[in-house]
C-alpha cells in the first residue's frame, strides 16, 4: 500500500516538530544551566522546559504548515521525489568507487604540487 503525498507531508511536519522541540529543549536546558535556574528550580524547570520546547515546536510547525503556498510547494516537491529514478545498489557502489579513485588521484596531484611549491619557495627565500 502506497501512502499519498499529503500523508508523507504530515509525517515530515511531525518529524520537523519533534526535531524543533528537541533543539529548543536543549537550548532551554543550556540557558537554565547558564543562569542557574536549573539548580534553583530543578523540578519545575525540567517540566517547564519540556512544555516550552513542545509548545515552540508545535508553534513553529503550525506557522510553516498554515502557509498555503508553502504547503502546495512542499506537496509538489514530494510528488517530484516520486518521479526520481533512484540508482540500484550495484550502480551506487560503482559510482562510489569512481569518486574514491578520482579523489585519490587529485590528492596525489595536490600533494606533488604542494611539495614542488614548498621547494621552490624554500629556494627563493633561502
Instruction: Indicate if 45 and 63 belong to the same structural domain.
Output: yes
Per-residue pLDDT of the chain (126 residues; tens, 9 = 90+): 356 888 888 888 999 999 999 999 999 999 999 999 988 988 899 899 999 999 999 999 999 889 889 888 988 888 888 888 889 999 999 999 999 999 999 999 999 999 999 999 999 988
Residue 24: closest CA among 44, 50, 43, 45? 50
Contact 6, 75 (CB under 8 A): yes
Range of the domain at 34: 1-84
Residues 100 and 122 in one domain: yes
Residues 39 and 9 both lie in one domain: yes
Residue 1: what pLDDT?
A: 35
At residue 71, what are phi and psi to the nearest 5 degrees?
-65, -45
The pLDDT, as a whole number, for residue 3 is 65
Query: Which one, of 70, 69, 56, 52, lies nearest residue 12 by Cα?
Result: 70
pTM over the 0.85 mark? no
> Total structural domains in the chain?
2
Amino acid at each position: 500500500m502506497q501512502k499519498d503525498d499529503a500523508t508523507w507531508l504530515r509525517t515530515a511536519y511531525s518529524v520537523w516538530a519533534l526535531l524543533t522541540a528537541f533543539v529548543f529543549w536543549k537550548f532551554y536546558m543550556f540557558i537554565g544551566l547558564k543562569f542557574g535556574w536549573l539548580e534553583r528550580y530543578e523540578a519545575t524547570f525540567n517540566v517547564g522546559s519540556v512544555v516550552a520546547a513542545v509548545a515552540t515546536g508545535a508553534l513553529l510547525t503550525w506557522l510553516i504548515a498554515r502557509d498555503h503556498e508553502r504547503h502546495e510547494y512542499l506537496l509538489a516537491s514530494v510528488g517530484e521525489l516520486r518521479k526520481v529514478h533512484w540508482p540500484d545498489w550495484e550502480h551506487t557502489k560503482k559510482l562510489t568507487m569512481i569518486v574514491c579513485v578520482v579523489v585519490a588521484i587529485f590528492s596525489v596531484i595536490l600533494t606533488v604540487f604542494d611539495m614542488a611549491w614548498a621547494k621552490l619557495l624554500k629556494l627563493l627565500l633561502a
